[in-house]
Amino acid sequence: MEDHHPQWVPPRPPTPQTLIHRLPDKPDPSSEDSSPRRPAKHIILIMGSTAVAGKVQIATTVAQALSCPLYQGDSLHESSAKAASLGAGTSQNQSGGLSQPPNKQRYKRMWLSKMTRTGLLFPEASRPAHEGSGSGTTSPHASSAASSRRGSVASDATSNASSAGAWSSTATTAATLYAHKPVFAEPDPAARERRANPALLVLTHPQLEGWHKAVIRESVGEYGIGVVFVPLYRDAGDTNEDEEEEEEEEKDLPVLKPLDPRTMTSFGSFGQSAAPRKPAGPSLDEEFVLKVDVEKQIEDLIQEIIEGVGDAMTVT
């Protein structure tokens, strides 16, 4: 007669927990000194319309080179900007333009809320949904429901333990098969690398107006995050400035004068005293725009962006 033992079924793995993304606490402004505030993290905001050739390729390659995530936020900006231009605070005049300025606070609130929900802006502040109650306890109803859903196999094993001698050892092996670990937990080395990386995120937006950039800087600057704006286009003002600089260089030609023999001995000391100056890096109080040559090939343009962003983030 065959001995019918209950068929062993491995326990169900833990259900993935939903993460809740929230804003962290703002730093205390009273603890800051009067020196220029330097960002601890940087957002590389690549600006350009969707018609710009290679925009996604550029953003993807830059994010890979900087070992940080990429988020395409063109629609995020457009929805926030549209909401800021509507409502009771704005109205259209006869010429079709806005008679009152857009609601900057509304844009700031929507933009920051949408970016926070991505989980990329403040990853350290994200927590599983079952945490945050403060007590750290589970209600009796929840525990009984959990045992009724997932404890059926365990109860069958208990009732049939006398008929299956090897059941306990098999169950112990199965229990170690699914280690009870947070599903979204990162390994410690990855978390350390992420915290040490000055590049927080590569973000794409369409062409921004001046007040858009100011509001974005203000939104993340309150949390010690700086923004490096990288436009993939040339403004009309940039072209005029280049032409004016060329004209000034042609007009202001240096006037050659004979050298004074008494100053010849000071050349050696002059070369030793002159120290190379580092370019000014991004500050939380000023706008930092990395201007690149958009006429270059995509590969050369990507390399120029990577080098420029790297130099900006390493400036102390």
User: CA distances (Å), 71 to each of 23, 204, 255, 294, 315, in order?
Assistant: 18, 7, 53, 22, 25
User: Which of 122-126, 128-132, 207-211 has the lowest average pLDDT?
Assistant: 128-132
The tens digit of pLDDT for each residue in 244-256 reads 555 665 566 566 6
| Confidence grade of residue 274 (pLDDT, cut at 50, 70, 90) | very low
**pLDDT the model gives residue 52:** 83
What is the helix (H) or strand (E) element at residue 19, kind and residue range? strand 19-20
CATH architecture of the domain 36-89+101-120+194-239+279-316 equals 3-Layer(aba) Sandwich (3.40)
301 or 36, higher pLDDT = 301
Type of residue found at 221: G
Q: 163: Cβ–Cβ under 8 A, 6 or more apart, which residues? A: 5
Question: Distance between CA 232 and CA 230 in Å, rounded?
Answer: 6
Q: Which of the two residues, 151 and 243, has the higher pLDDT score?
A: 243
pLDDT at 21: 81
Give the C-alpha separation, 225 to 42, whole Å.
6
- Dihedral Cα 103, 105, 110, 111, nearest 10 deg: 100
The predicted structure's pLDDT at residue 178: 40
Range 35-52 average pLDDT:
87
Q: Look at 27 and 76; give whichever has higher pLDDT.
A: 76
The DSSP symbol for 276 reads P
Q: Check: pTM over 0.85? Answer yes or no.
A: no
Q: How deeply is 144 buried, as exposed, middle or buried, from its count of CB atoms within 10 A (0-12, 13-18, 19+)?
A: exposed
- Reported as a pLDDT band with limits 50, 70 and 90, residue 145 is very low
Residues 206 and 48 sit within 8 Å (Cβ to Cβ): yes
- 3-state secondary structure at position 219: helix
Give me the residue spans of the domains in the chain.
36-89+101-120+194-239+279-316
CA–CA gap between residue 55 and residue 62 (Å, rounded): 11
Q: How far apart are CA 289 and CA 231, in angstroms?
A: 8
Amino acid 126: pLDDT? 82
Percent of all residues in the chain with a pLDDT value above 90, rounded to a whole number: 38
Between the CA of residue 258 and those of 30, 78, 251, 262, 270, what are the distances in Å? Answer: 57, 62, 22, 12, 19
Distance from C-alpha of 221 to C-alpha of 41, rounded to nearest angstrom? 10
Task: Count CB-CB contacts under 10 A for residue 234.
Answer: 14
Predicted pLDDT of residue 210: 94
Q: Among 196, 231, 209, which Cα is nearest to 44's?
A: 231
Residues 32/36/42/44 CA torsion (nearest 10 deg): 150
Tokens of 274: 């002159």
How far apart are alpha carbons 170 and 261 in whole angstroms? 96
Predicted pLDDT of residue 163: 44
Q: Find the farthest-apart pair of alpha carbons in the chain and give their distance in angstroms, rounded.
A: 118
For 36, residues 6+ apart whose C-beta sits below 8 A from its C-beta are: 283, 284, 285
CA distance linking residue 206 with residue 222, whole number of Å: 23
Comparing 13-22, 113-122, 180-189, the range with the smallest average pLDDT is 180-189
Average pLDDT on 125-146 reads 54
Average pLDDT, the chain: 73
